[in-house]
């Protein structure tokens, strides 16, 4: 079985996605890309996360879009995953969620601005992609455009898409952006939030790029 460890990881994080309330029912999907094989492993369509097994995960050729291994029907959003693996080399895992607050902003067709420094997990801000029907190439292209220079985007009237260098990172981005969407929702209910400026967010992007990798130099206090 090819990509066994990636399949196992997808099954594990699928359960986390459901248990954390980031999606409902069988909504959402996850994938991991192996650049050496140029194959992506992706969740199947319609199987509940707690019933999903590694043999249910489908392998797809990133270049052609053909199924190369698996008996199940792959996620209807497979093109939305494949387009990133085909044209970006910094994203090797993707999580798509129907999380409540991200979907709320997406239904308003709002971008998520820099309401909190944790928005930088997705970028200087998180754009909302133009609407397209789920499972279409048009949606894949809209998401790809919205995530230019970003690790996350909202999908109009739909949900959240997040990517990372591995599935743990993509899942973390999903959690952080959903949290920031909730903050934005809460602050908008009180008035107009005070946003961080682009210079501060650019610094946050630099900090997050090597977070935990080295000791920081501190000014004298």
Antiparallel, parallel or unpaired: β 152-155 and 128-129? parallel
**Rounded Cα gap, residues 216 and 86, in angstroms:** 36
**Rounded Cα gap, residues 67 and 42, in angstroms:** 10
> What does the chain come to in residues?
221
Instruction: Record the tokens describing residue 134, joined without a space.
Output: 């789920």
Antiparallel, parallel or unpaired: β 93-97 and 29-34? antiparallel
Q: Burial, 179: exposed, middle or buried (Cβ in 10 Å; 0-12, 13-18, 19+)?
A: middle
Q: Which of 6, 77, 175, 176 is catalytic?
A: 77
Q: Is 77 labeled as catalytic in the residue annotation?
A: yes
CA 183 to chain centre: 19
Closest of 84, 78, 95 to residue 175, by C-alpha: 95
Which are the catalytic amino acids?
77
């Amino acid at each position: 079985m090819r990509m066994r460890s990636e399949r196992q990881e997808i099954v594990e994080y699928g359960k986390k996605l459901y248990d954390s309330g980031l999606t409902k029912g069988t909504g959402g999907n996850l994938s991991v890309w192996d650049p050496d094989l140029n194959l992506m492993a992706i969740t199947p369509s319609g199987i509940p996360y707690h019933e999903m097994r590694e043999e249910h995960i489908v392998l797809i050729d990133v270049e052609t879009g053909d199924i190369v291994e698996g008996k199940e029907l792959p996620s209807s959003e497979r093109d939305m995953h494949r387009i990133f693996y085909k044209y970006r080399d910094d994203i090797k895992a993707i999580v798509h969620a129907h999380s409540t607050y991200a979907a709320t902003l997406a239904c308003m067709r709002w971008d998520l601005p820099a309401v909190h420094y944790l928005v930088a997990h997705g970028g200087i801000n998180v754009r909302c992609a133009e609407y397209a029907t789920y499972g279409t190439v048009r949606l894949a292209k809209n998401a790809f455009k919205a995530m230019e220079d970003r690790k996350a985007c909202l999908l109009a009237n739909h949900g959240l898409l997040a990517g990372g260098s591995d599935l743990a990172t993509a899942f973390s981005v999903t959690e952080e952006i959903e949290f920031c969407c909730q903050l934005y929702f809460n602050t908008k209910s009180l008035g107009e939030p005070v946003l961080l400026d682009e210079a501060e967010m650019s610094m946050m992007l630099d900090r997050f790029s090597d977070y935990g990798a080295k000791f920081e130099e501190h000014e004298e206090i």
